Structure 1
Amino acid sequence: MSYLRYVRVIGTMHVSPKSREEVIRTILEERPHAVAVELDRTRFIAMGQEREMTFEDALRFGRRGLINYVLAKVEEKLGEEFGMKPGEEMKAAISTARALGVPLYLIDEDINVILGKIAAAPAREKLLMALEALAVFLPIKPGEGMPDPMSEYRTMMMGFKRRYPYLYRVLVEERNEVMVRNLISIVDNLKLQGIKRPRVVAVVGLGHKQGIEHILDRAEERVATSRYFYI
């Protein structure tokens, strides 16, 4: 039996106001037994503190800190372009789940593991990533007829996969596997609590949606182990 019948996956753009609205609307409509978000404990705590990492902070953490700093600045720049701070859709999922009294789960891979994998990327991919990250900081003047960012996202992801095969594997495919294992475990544990047909809403980046749904649809129902965190 497919686990997809138990899980509603919302694919969001982390810098899109439309995604925040969709998250709130879906959770209110579904009234799920659990809400799962693409966060780990470290990022969840950092989001609550709302303290931005400075360049000096990044230097203290070495290479991993610098990588995290650059990625954060890239998202920040994109947020300015689209009128929304990164992570607002995750905050919306958290606050809506709490307002409804719905259990919240953190299902993503540990950020330190992710940063370690990024640091081990081939030199070619790291150089290309650095050059593209610098380009993001250049001023972009919005013009008429600009494509809707949500409609262009899949094209962007395919381009990323072609340019960065290693990073795509560790940032998308491997994390898909981690999040699916955790979602399966959440469903199984809800069944053990006597809920015959659990409903779980999972809020993940749009680039993860199709892959997660594909794996869930082909997973046989079973009792699974996981490393998700219940909040």
Structure 2
Amino acid sequence: MTNAFADLLGAEPEDDFDPGTEYAPPAPSGKDFRTLKPSHVHELDRGVTINWLAQAFLKPRKDVEKLLARCPILRMGPNSSKIYDFRVAAAFMVPPRVSVKDYIKNLEPKDLPERLRSEFWSARLKEQKARLIARELWRSEDVQAAFGDVLKLIKDTVLLWTDTVEESSGITDEQRAILDELSRDLLARVGDSIDSYCTGSAQFPSQESELEDGGEQ
């Protein structure tokens, strides 16, 4: 095992590490530009100690202990030292570099803290009321009623096609049968399409774009 990972599983390292000292990155020597090899990643999988994290993140030990207060412990090492999963611990060691507002915005309501859930639904209700007033949002029963009116208008018009054509230019019985069949097929297809939107089996264009945007995030 390399010196850089010598204290991963053992007791707290006995070196010149001072828990109360603020650490700064060493000045580059201009001679040694070596980096850790990919093989060293497997050594990290064995876990890291508080002292290791303090040195790696250039923080005093007491600050690391506070940061890891809620971090799950991978296991206990020699002398009751706490061993942490490096990847999990790293998330507690540095502040998030994302917008808190955007992060909360993308959370599911069930993932929000209990005290924020009522505020979330209250804000959502106010938003819906505002969109209803602006007619950017329709109630389901209003949408169904509108579809029903449109379908009735189409039906009343289409059913008169055969009689209108016969009165204006005359048609044979075979032509009447064909026109009647086409009219019934059109009404059935329109009815099925409206029904699919009302039952939710079909999606409106805005819903499809929202799903695409969500999949890209």
Normalised TM-score (structure 2): 0.18
Normalised TM-score (structure 1): 0.17
> Counting strand residues as a fraction of each chain, which structure ranks higher?
1
Greater relative contact order (Cα 8 A, min sep 6): structure 1 or 2?
1
